Amino acid sequence: MTMHAVNLSKPLSVEVFDLNRPMDQSAWIQIGDYEDLKDAVDACRRVIDRVLCKPRYSSLTGHALMQEYLNYGPIPCIRGVDNLDAFDPYEYLESKTK
């Protein structure tokens, strides 16, 4: 009798909350499913990094950059994680503004 390992873990879903979408569309966008937490965290970081590369943000630093992003930027999150501290978008954004 051969035994096979069964993966009972649920995939991690990375979603983005973006209020700048058209009114007839949901503010939530699913950007992908990941089996590995590191991959899901990297996807969240890429969301923030892509936005910070835009010209609108290039001249801003520190508190001004953080305020602008928090007012207008998309907020990524990971669904399916029991540990809610797996990715903190505010902490990551703060690390990028130093």
What is residue 71's three-state secondary structure?
Answer: helix
The pLDDT value given to residue 74? 94
CA distance 69 to 52: 8
Q: Are 87 and 41 in contact (CB under 8 A)?
A: yes
Which helix or strand (DSSP H or E) is residue 81 part of? none
Domain ranges of the chain: 12-96
Q: What is the pLDDT along the chain (98 residues), one digit of tens a residue?
A: 444 443 445 688 999 999 888 989 999 999 999 988 899 999 999 999 999 999 988 888 888 999 999 899 999 999 876 656 789 999 999 998 87
For residue 21, the number of C-alpha atoms closer than 13 Å in the C-beta half-sphere is 12
The pLDDT value given to residue 1? 46
